[in-house]
Amino acid sequence: MQNNEVDMNGLVLKIEELSIAFGGLKAVDGLSFEIKENEVFGLIGPNGAGKTTAFNCITQFYKPNSGAIYFKDRKGQTQNLLEHNVHEIIKLGLVRTFQNVELIRELSIIDNVLIGAHTDFKATIFSQAFRSPKAVREEREMRAKAYEILETLGIEDRANLPVGGQPYGILKKVEFARSLISNPKLIILDEPAAGLNDVETIELASRIRKIRDELGCSILLVEHDMRLVMDVCDRICAISFGKFLAKGTPKEIKENKAVQVAYLGIEVDHDTKQ
């Protein structure tokens, strides 16, 4: 569905007054922000601030109580994401990873990556069952593409090993690879550096920028590792208790009084908090 009223010039995602409550708890409360094309955008906030919940609303795992979410899809058309089912989101060009890695243990690494290409397959079940030449070719091409992605992440030597039993750093990479294979316009990363060591985190930072440049996509990430956030993000939005705190460049955020308070937990009078 087209929504011509919304001005999405230069933007890929626009969130307006997003709110969702669980019981009495306002997990996200009147949150607005927008992400530009080709931007690495950070969403930060203390534990329980509502970051993952905001992601779940954007990707339609939760239907928000109120607010609007607009997304410029692959074809450049503006989509009201609330009108879509959760499984339709990736087809529009929006893909996510999970805070607690969600992979299929019994499948090989490359098969896990191929799950990300699920909606790109054209062959019907029938032609796959009977191995029509077209279905065989499609499977081979997709597999080659998945292998290529594993190569860029440096884990192609493990392509055919099962995911179960792989170290955490590898699992994070597999999930990342799975999100890349769909050629997304916006990738949402929920704590990509959690559980990684220093070397892996530095590697991740350069990879995020490289992906953005090579795919020409935007990246929205939640991360507690402040060095990574300050390092890779073009702009950052800080939230606390579901509410908007501040928005700006990494430098502006670092110097923002309200953000410092939220993170350091200093008690302040609500009126003086900007």
Partner 1 sequence: MKTILKWLRNPYFQFLLFGILLALVPILAKIGIFKVSYITTLGGAFIFAIAALGLNILLGYSGLISLGTSGFMGLAAYLSAYATIDLNLPFEVAIFLAILIPTLIGVLVGLVSLKIEGIYLAIATLAVSEVMRKTFEEFDFFTNGFSGKTANYPTLFGVFTLDRTTMYYFIVSVLVLVMILTYNMVNGRLGRALNAMRGSEAASQAMGVNLLNHRLIAFALATIYASIAGVLYVHFIKYSYPSIWSLKLSLDFLAMIIIGGLRSIYGTLLGAVIVFAVPDLFLKQLPYFNQLSYILNGILIILVIIFYPHGLIYAGHDIKRAFNKLRKGAK
Please say which residue, 119 or 206, places its beta carbon nearer to partner 1. Answer: 119
Q: Which of residues 44-103 bind Mg ion (CB under 5 A)?
A: 52, 99
Contacts with partner 1 by CB under 8 A: the residue count is 35
The minimum distance between CB 196 and partner 1, in angstroms, equals 20
Q: Does 166 bind ligand ATP (CB under 6 A)?
A: no
Cβ-count burial 181-194 (b if 16+ within 10 Å, e if not) = bbebbbbbbbbbbb
The minimum distance between CB 53 and Mg ion, in angstroms, equals 8
In contact, 153 and 173? CB cutoff 8 Å: yes
Binding mask 17-56 for ligand ATP (x = CB under 6 A): -----x--x-x-----------------x-xxxxxxx---
Q: Which of residues 67-86 bind partner 1 (CB under 8 A)?
A: 85-86
Select from 11, 10, 30 the least CA-distant residue to 20: 30
Dist CA 179 CA 194 (whole Å): 17
Please say which residue, 98 or 147, places its beta carbon nearer to ligand ATP. Answer: 98
In contact, 49 and 238? CB cutoff 8 Å: no
- Of 62, 98, 241, 263, the one binding partner 1 (CB under 8 A) is 98
Residue owning tokens 């499609």: 138
Q: What is the CA radius of gyration of the chain?
A: 20
As beta bridge partners, residue 247 has 237
Q: Does 99 bind ligand ATP (CB under 6 A)?
A: yes
Q: Which two structure tokens, joined as six digits, stand for 184?
A: 């997304």
Contacts with ligand ATP by CB under 6 A: the residue count is 12
Dist CA 111 CA 117 (whole Å): 10
53 binds, among partner 1, ligand ATP, Mg ion, none (CB under 5 to 8 A by kind): ligand ATP
Q: Does 105 bind partner 1 (CB under 8 A)?
A: yes
E-assigned strands of 23-62? 25-36, 40-44
Select from 6, 24, 27 the least CA-distant residue to 15: 6
Please say which residue, 52 or 166, places its beta carbon nearer to Mg ion. Answer: 52
List interacting residues with ligand ATP (CB under 6 A): 22, 25, 27, 45, 47-53, 99
List interacting residues with Mg ion (CB under 5 A): 52, 99
